[in-house]
C-alpha cells in the first residue's frame, strides 16, 4: 500500500531556499498529501476511470466534496441536492442520466466515480469549482 500511495502523492520536498513562497508551497503540498491519505481507500476505483496523472486531483476532489463518504448529501440553497463521492448535483445528474442513459444511483461509488471521470474528461473540472480552493494544487494565495 505504501508504494501505491507514494506513486500518486505529490512529492513534498523541504525547500532549499526558505523564502515565504517556497515555505508556503511546501505547506500546501503537505496539506494536499494529508487530504489524499484520508481518501486513499478510493484510489483503486479512481484508477479504473482516471488517467494516472489525474488521480491525485480526482482524490482531492473527492476529499473536498464528500470527505470520501459515498452516501454524502449536500443541501443547496436552491433546493437541489449534491450526492455521492463527487457530489453530483440533482440538475447535473438529471442531464447526465438522460444523455448517457444512466440507470444506477449516484450513491453507488462506482457509478459516481465513473461518471465523474466522464464529466471531467468531456466537460472539464469546473463542475467542482465551488470546492476548488480546497483541491487545486497550483493555487497560490492571491
- Residues 96-114: tens digit of each pLDDT: 999 999 999 999 999 999 9
Q: Is the pLDDT of residue 137 over 80?
A: no
The answer to whether 128 and 61 have CB atoms below 8 angstroms apart is yes
CATH architecture type of domain 15-126: Orthogonal Bundle (1.10)
Report the pLDDT value the prediction gives residue 3, as an integer from 0 to 100.
Answer: 45
What's the predicted TM-score (pTM) here? 0.82
Q: Is the pLDDT of residue 62 over 90?
A: yes
Quote the CA–CA distance of 6 and 32 in Å, as a whole number. Answer: 13
In the chain, what's the furthest Cα-to-Cα distance? 54
Q: Is the pLDDT of residue 22 over 60?
A: yes
Tell me, rounded to whole angstroms, the distance of Cα 101 from its chain centroid: 24
Amino acid at each position: 500500500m505504501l508504494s501505491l500511495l507514494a506513486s500518486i502523492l505529490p512529492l513534498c520536498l523541504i525547500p532549499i531556499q526558505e523564502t515565504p513562497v517556497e515555505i508556503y508551497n511546501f505547506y500546501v503540498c503537505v496539506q494536499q498529501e494529508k487530504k489524499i491519505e484520508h481518501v486513499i481507500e478510493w484510489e483503486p476505483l479512481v484508477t479504473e476511470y482516471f488517467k494516472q496523472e489525474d488521480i491525485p486531483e480526482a482524490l482531492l476532489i473527492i476529499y473536498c466534496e464528500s470527505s470520501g463518504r459515498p452516501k454524502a448529501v449536500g443541501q443547496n440553497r436552491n433546493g437541489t441536492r449534491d450526492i455521492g463521492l463527487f457530489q453530483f448535483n440533482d440538475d447535473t445528474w438529471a442531464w447526465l442520466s438522460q444523455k448517457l442513459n444512466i440507470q444506477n444511483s449516484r450513491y453507488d461509488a462506482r457509478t459516481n466515480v465513473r461518471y465523474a471521470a466522464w464529466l471531467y474528461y468531456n466537460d472539464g473540472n469546473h463542475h467542482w469549482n465551488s470546492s476548488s480552493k480546497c483541491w487545486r494544487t497550483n493555487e497560490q494565495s492571491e
